Structures are given as C-alpha cells and as structure tokens.
Structure 1
C-alpha cells in the first residue's frame, strides 16, 4: 500500500497528519504537485516528492496513472477521486470523508451541478475553511482506514 497526496491544494495540517502516520506505520507517501515542494519529508526514505508539469490537472493525471488497487489517495478533487476509485484505490478528502465505489459517482454529479450553478451565478463560494474538527475527523478516518487495510492481509 502507498499513500498518494494531491499536494497542490492539500492543507499543511493534513499533510503533517499523513506524514506522521507514514513514519509510525512505515507506509510510503508520494506527494504530487505542480509546484516546488521544498523540504517536505526530507530525510525520510518513505517520503517522495514528485513535481509534475504546471498544466491543468497534471498532478491528477499523474496520480491516476500511478495508483494501484489498495492505495489511498488524499484529495479534495472529486474527478480525481472518481478516477482512482475506478482503478481499485480509495480516496479520502481533507475532511475525512472516504470516496468509494458506493458514493463517488453521486459526489461527482453533485460537484458538477454546483459548478454549473456557480457558473450561472446562482451559487457562490466553496466549502468553509478547514477547522480543528475537520482535522480530527480526517485523522480518525485515516487511522480507521489504515488499521483496516493493514490488518486485512
């Protein structure tokens, strides 16, 4: 199992939770972004930073092409979540909600609907800023997923 982070928009607090879990459980993490990631995970053989070209959705395309069944992808990008679920992986958003075969299509439909509403000026904004409860919910969901995945084999 590997953990992939769509790091173009991953909150730093969420990244830190993942990196701590990676070190504790010895799970490789791949941070994928179209910008320089600095020294994130420096000194750890478990952390790999991958910089992709700066085009639209390049990080998403890279992750979708590299993910394997059983991997976990951390992303708020629902189209990416749909792609990785099709490949047998699981997604989790920074608020701790899992993307699975059972729910990703409905979430994609709602995302597309809301995008259309925003384009027409009938809806504004996006989700609220990530808070302490969201971080806690993410950490708990990550722990549950990792415990289940590591004990399944």
Structure 2
C-alpha cells in the first residue's frame, strides 16, 4: 500500500510548520490546499494546491475528492472533518484534538448548537485563542497519528 498523505486545509491553519516538521521526520508527503496566498515550498515532499475562490468550500471539496482511507486531514472545519472521517481518513484539529467516528457526531452537534446561539444573539461566538500548549499538543498528536497511519498502510 501507499504511504499516507497529509492534507492540510491551509487557509488560516496555524500549524503548517509543525505539519512540515512531522512529515519530514517520517518521510510523508504534505499537500496544502488553499484559496491562495501560500508561499510555495522547494521541498518536493510539500505540495501546494490552489483552488478557485469561486466556491466557499472549494478547498474542502478538493481534499475530500483526493483523500482516502488512512490519509491524514488537518482541519478546524467540522463539516470537512466529518466528510474526511467518513472516508476513513485520520483527522486532526490544529489544537491536537482528533476527530474520530466515535467523536465526530458530537463535534457536529456542538458546532450546530454554537452556530444557532450566535444567530439568535445568545452567544457572541468568541473562540479561545491558539496557545503554545495547543501547538505542543498538536505536534505530539500528529506524530502519533502519522505513525498509526503509516502502520495501517504497511
């Protein structure tokens, strides 16, 4: 089987450098998918895909069309996470929180509830800031997840 590929929903992703670091250590290809604005890498293991800005979910759609079981998807986008989990991909949020078949339903429900509360004015919708602890937790979680994905493809 082929080695897993790491797909990154790269627009506003705060952990691109950490993804590159883990991928380089483990010899994995990374594909950053965005609407533009990313500086291309000279590393042949780092790919950039720029999708048209015409569709709001163009990057998400591209990732879902290309990822497969045992690949890794990095995203904070809950609907994309749900779609990737359904493919059998490993999915990790930038704070190091994995999305799994067991947890994705609750994540979708919480997202929908928070959106409803924002729309009705009952919540201001503030998100917690991204912390150094989140970055550290992400690094450890991605390393562990990538090793598990590699083992699953052997």
Structure with the larger RCO, 1 or 2 (CA within 8 Å, 6+ apart) = 2
Which of 2, 10, 22 is equivalent to 2:13? 10
Per the alignment, residue 92 of structure 1 pairs with: 92
Q: Does 1:59 align with 2:74?
A: no
Q: Give me the TM-score of the superposition, normalised by structure 2.
A: 0.92
Q: Structure 1: how far apart are the matches of 2:46 and 2:57? A: 22
- The 8 Å contact of residues 72 and 149 in structure 2, kept in 1 or not, is answered as no
Q: Structure 2: how far apart are the matches of 1:126 and 1:32? A: 26
Structure 1: which 4+ aligned runs deviate by more than 2 Å?
147-153
Unaligned runs of 5+ in 1: none
CA RMSD of aligned residues (A): 1.1
Q: Give me the TM-score of the superposition, normalised by structure 1.
A: 0.93
Q: Structure 1: how far apart are the matches of 2:151 and 2:89? A: 17
Per the alignment, residue 31 of structure 2 pairs with: 30
Corresponding residue SS for 1:38 = coil
Q: Does 1:113 align with 2:113?
A: yes
Unaligned runs of 5+ in 2: none
Q: Structure 2: how far apart are the matches of 1:26 and 1:126? A: 37
CA shift, 1:117, in A, is 0.6
